[in-house]
Structure 1
Amino acid sequence: MLTRQAILDKILHERVVGIVRLKEQGEVADCLQCLVDGGMGCLEITSNTPGYAEEIKNARERYPNILVGAGTVTNADKANVAVAAGAQFLVTPNVNEEVVLIAHKAGIPVLMGALTPTEINLAVEIGADIVKLFPAGDIGLNYCKGIMGPFNNVPLMAVGGISKENVVEWLSIGMAGIGIGSQLCRAVKDESDKIAHTEFVRDFMRLVKQTTQQ
């Protein structure tokens, strides 16, 4: 069993968290396969995906070498469900101390959503392991670069509006990582779409690797 620090280290090493938010539970397995086969090592299944707790359990069993977390964990109830399902990390869009307490008691890290300096500082004070700047794309690169000045010792992850077209820009400003949703973590229609999307994910991950090695 990985420690909280080992999980955190792997998230920061991977630099990318795939955000799986789908309309149907039956779409999850094929989506995850595309992501894993495409080289992603860190995935979250959001609480507003139908059957998300069951899908976290399934993914943990099917992909023992991949980190599988729970996303959109806005409160203590959702945190408890996610931990019981075997989530290896929790991701929130908001600042919530109870979520941190539950996660740390279970020995797993929290990626906590925040945007303003006050929210970021509060997230750090209550023990967030990574601060997720959300929605980063709407607020823009310049704002996020500005935030990195006073919070230079805080691991910041940009989430919201990240795509293959702009991921190099986001990683190049010094973000600890990025979260990406619909462009990569989408439902696939059939076998040919599955093959094509897996290659798209693979190309995206190559781009990330090239950028982070520069």
Structure 2
Amino acid sequence: MGGWRSVVCSFIPVLAPHRDMTHETDGTPKTFEALRESGVVAVMRGGEPDTVIDTADALVAGGVTAIEITADTDGASDLIAEVDASVPEAVVGAGTVLDSETARSCLLAGAEFVVSPSLHADVIETANRYGALVAPGVMTPTEAIRGREAGADLLKVFPASTVGPGHLSAIRGPLGDVPLMPTGGIDLENVEAYIEAGAICVGAGGSLVDYDAVERGEPESVTETAREFRDRIAAARG
């Protein structure tokens, strides 16, 4: 598409060109499809490494294969590498990424996608440079346009709980099929409404990720919640 080209990781940094609003992904169609297929990106913050790995395994058993390790977790880069190696069925990414150095560290550890709560051009640029999917946080149509023009593959609508599903429909009205991932306050009671409003996938943390259950020796409860999320998303997609 007019002037677009894939940006791949190389020894010579290459900056990504601006994207038009209709382009779905650049060099990351496989990751984009993996997140869409999962339906939910499990946001995992904190936790002991063994607990995080066991929880990720339980999530994958329930069909939620997209795992986001937040960068504010102690040893996040090492943990990304550990989860990636221990749970090969998972698509592992980094969340709460606020600067290019953090993005680079996580990507070198094996992160396949990068998520931010806000819009940071340097994070988008770095992810583009390494050929990874990037999802900055946005709230308004203006931010959505700026994010896509900067090179974002997916847009994290955050915090979704403050605006509700109708906000997604409102953004998509003038912008068409802009890919949105609402995050913040997503649970089993409202996930269908967000999917029906046009979300590609959703981000879910506390309503899905239960370290306590895993530490009690009850990972099956996490697996069951993951299955319920998947079932409701499938129903909403028809």
Confirm or deny a common fold (TM above 0.5). Answer: yes
**Residue from 187, 200, 211 that aligns with 2:225:** 200
Counterpart secondary structure, 2:64: coil
Q: Give the letter aligned to residue 172 of structure 2.
A: M
Range 177-186 or range 3-12, more displaced: 3-12
**Residue from 14, 38, 42 that aligns with 2:62:** 38
Distance 2:200 2:171 in 1: 13
Counterpart secondary structure, 1:150: helix
Q: Indicate whether 1:93 and 2:117 are aligned.
A: yes
Q: How does 1:75-114 map to 2 (within 5 A)?
A: 75-114=99-138
In the alignment, is the contact (CA less than 8 A) between 2:136 and 2:152 conserved in 1?
yes
Q: Indicate whether 1:19 and 2:43 are aligned.
A: yes
Q: Give the letter aligned to residue 188 of structure 2.
A: K
Report deviation, 1:107. 1.1
**Residue from 7, 29, 36 that aligns with 2:53:** 29
Across the two proteins, how many residue pairs are aligned to each other? Answer: 210
Q: What fraction of aligned residue pairs are identical, expressed as a percent?
A: 33
Unaligned runs of 5+ in 1: none
What residue number does 1:189 align with?
Answer: 215
Distance 1:143 1:6 in 2: 28
Distance 1:107 1:115 in 2: 25
Q: Give the letter aligned to residue 28 of structure 1.
A: V
Distance 2:207 2:84 in 1: 23
Report Cα offsets for 1:22-75 as digits up to 9, x if no partner: 244443122212211111111110011222211110111122232100000111
Distance change in 2, residues 1:186/1:49 (3 Å): farther
Distance 2:99 2:37 in 1: 27
Q: Give the letter aligned to residue 110 of structure 1.
A: V
Q: Give the letter aligned to residue 189 of structure 1.
A: E
Unaligned runs of 5+ in 2: 1-26
Distance 1:140 1:196 in 2: 27
Distance 1:200 1:13 in 2: 17
**Residue from 171, 174, 192 that aligns with 1:150:** 174
In the alignment, is the contact (CA less than 8 A) between 2:137 and 2:155 conserved in 1?
yes
> What is the TM-score normalised by the length of structure 2?
0.83
RMSD over aligned Cα atoms: 1.6
In the alignment, is the contact (CA less than 8 A) between 1:25 and 1:49 conserved in 2?
no
Q: Give the letter aligned to residue 96 of structure 1.
A: H
Range 40-49 or range 26-35, more displaced: 26-35
**Residue from 57, 75, 87 that aligns with 1:51:** 75
What residue number does 2:200 align with?
Answer: 176
Distance 2:178 2:126 in 1: 21
Distance 1:201 1:9 in 2: 18
Q: Give the letter aligned to residue 143 of structure 2.
A: E
Q: Give the letter aligned to residue 122 of structure 1.
A: R
Counterpart secondary structure, 1:154: coil
Q: Indicate whether 1:69 and 2:99 are aligned.
A: no
